[in-house]
A and B are shown apart, each in its own frame.
Chain A
Amino acid sequence: MVTTSITVDDTGFLRLVLARADDALVLGHRLSEWCGHAPILEEDLSLANIALDLIGQARSLYALAGAASGHDEDQLAYLRDDRQYRNLLMLEQPNGDFACTIARLFLYSAYIDPYWRMLATSGSELAPVAAKAAKESAYHLRHSAEWLIRLGDGTAESHRRAQDALERLFPWTGEMFEPLPDDVAVPVAVWDAQVDAVLAEATLARPAPKWQQTGGRAGRHSEHLGHLLAEMQHLQRAFPGATW
């Protein structure tokens, strides 16, 4: 029996796991787009490392979701449509320039790094995955913070680009703090302190608070996710049921 699109009744635990898994997969996919095209060879390797970590996290989480939903990791990744994806809107946005890619990785890592550390000691079913992810996210945070500081305090052009990236990305950051079922909550103040410290060193200004766009957790995405999935899911959709 060939499976085409699937829908998952993701209430409770499944909502939490899929949200975190989709975040990791979608950001990992975006970062993998840089491979072969980065500004310097060392950065081709670093961004690929980070993408590999994130795809690995997604796989561990889909494995847990699979046990609860009866679908394997590839069915969950390749056979859900965008209305079924639960990732943060910020992570599905196109990469933009290098400043935008780095700023997004930083803003997300500044949230997810303390999150994984809290979750690792929470007694949650996700704790083992969180413990491993926390080691990786610490590196992602350090790497992106170092680059943001370099760009902010580099040349006039890099400063302008980094500041533009922050202005563009900040309206998407509020969504990270939307509560998920049975989850630990990273205090906004923890994220604020991390972000403010790095922006100060980078000589960048924190954008003024304005509207916050949400909807990703409920499957209401921007137009970009559909294209990302069309590309990513192409073979699984074109040859239903084949093994790769």
Chain B
Amino acid sequence: MLHQELARRRDPMWRWERPLLREISMYAQGLNQSDPAAVTASPEAARFQARIDAEDKIEPNDWMPEAYRRTLIRQISQHAHSEIIGMLPEGNWITRAPSLRRKAALLAKVQDEGGHGLYLYAAAETLGVTREDLVDQLLAGKAKYSSIFNYPTLTWADIGAIGWLVDGAAIMNQIPLCRCSFGPYARAMIRVCKEESFHQRQGYEIMLTLCRGTAEQKAMAQDALDRWWWPCLMMFGPPDAASQHSDTSMMWKIKRFTNDGLRQKFIDATVPQGHYLGLSFPDPALRLNPESGHWEHGPIDWEEFRRVVAGGGFCAADRLDARRRAHDEGTWVREAAAAFAAKRTARKEAA
């Protein structure tokens, strides 16, 4: 299974031969600029909502309210940025992975995350933006990405904890998105979810190996759980009472469960897995409510969440610096590829 996974090969498509893309997308953005409040009452808007209610998929060329388009662009691009920034904390251990098997599996996993970024940018592009513009927003510090990737990976056990918990939380968030009303996003999520569940099992297996290993290894696993548990619970976003975007997203079937609902599902699935490892959770209030069958948790430090989302925390500056450096140092390469593509086209036309 692992081997099959590693043998997969992705042949990236080339982007250089699409010089008109930027202009086309600027044109598309000019369309559909009507005020969202005004269009909700229109016959198109009513038809649109009826299609959503009937579980029809909305495709890029279909009519859609401008606010729906904007919400999707924001959500899909934040998701894409998270995949790309998410390559960094785990990439931090590729060169130090403790066995050749782990090294190959980790490299393949980080590569998968880059692939998820690619599908997601492509899904966002169907809405009339370009990947280049979205990446510029990220590098300018104007776009958000998941706060979880602003935490540092300090030991090898963090690689296990990220796979088990962060990919586990991502799956909880993304499985409902496979039924998202916007076709390209839903289809990208189906592909992504298969790989995320593979990552989750792989991460759990790293944790299991550590917990069955030496006392030092088990302590390393416990320390990783202690550091990653609360930030993972924050991945589901602010509590429902404080969430800005939930209501319309629910109406549009971009979102199908509330933040708190997904967080609870994640806790219920994860706590028994942690106990099976022989680990304890860093929450003295964690207890199983025998009546509801749910695990209840203590208060989440939303102050920390706000700080980390806003660029505080250990690694926010490091993450963006790393992406900016890669982008800036790669400028001459992208220019060379574009210049070469232009020369080749000119030669073809001359011939």
Contacts and interface: CB of A to CB of B under 8 A. Distances in A.
Interface residues of A, number: 50
A164 interface: no
Contacts, number: 152
Interface residues of B, number: 53
B322 A36 contact: yes
Contacts of B117: 41
Nearest to B102: A244
B2 to A, nearest CB: 11
Contacts of B332: 155, 157-158, 161
A44 interface: yes
B336 A151 contact: yes
Contacts of B108: 48, 52
B103 to A, nearest CB: 6
A56 B105 CA distance: 11
Nearest to A139: B9
A128 to B, nearest CB: 15
B217 to A, nearest CB: 6
A234 B339 CA distance: 43
A55 B103 contact: yes
Interface string B323-351: 00110011111111101100100000000
B124 to A, nearest CB: 13
Contacts of A80: none
A44 B116 CA distance: 12
Contact of A98 (B87, B94, B330): B330
A35 B12 contact: no
A105 to B, nearest CB: 14
B91 interface: yes
B96 A158 contact: no
A73 interface: yes
Interface in A45-59: 45-46, 48-49, 51-52, 55-56, 58-59
Interface in B143-189: 156
A48 B111 contact: yes
B333 A56 contact: no
A58 B101 CA distance: 11
Interface string B292-330: 000000000000000000000000000000100110011
Interface stretch (B62-70, B208-216, B228-236): B208-216
Describe B's contact surface by its main secondary structure: helix
Nearest to B327: A39
B347 to A, nearest CB: 10
B61 interface: no
A189 interface: no
Interface in B10-50: 10, 12-15
28 contacts: A33-B94, A33-B95, A35-B111, A37-B322, A37-B326, A39-B329, A39-B331, A39-B334, A40-B330, A40-B334, A42-B15, A45-B12, A48-B107, A48-B108, A48-B110, A48-B111, A49-B111, A52-B107, A55-B104, A151-B336, A153-B343, A231-B96, A232-B96, A235-B98, A235-B156, A243-B209, A244-B98, A244-B213
Given A48-B114, A55-B107, 13 more contacts: A36-B91, A39-B330, A41-B118, A59-B104, A97-B329, A150-B337, A154-B335, A155-B339, A232-B96, A235-B156, A239-B216, A242-B98, A243-B213
Interface of B: 6, 9-10, 12-15, 84, 87-88, 91, 94-104, 107-108, 110-111, 114-115, 117-118, 121, 156, 209-210, 213-214, 216-217, 322, 325-326, 329-337, 339-340, 343
A-B complex: 6 closest residue pairs judged by Cβ atoms: A39-B330, A154-B336, A158-B336, A42-B12, A39-B333, A244-B98
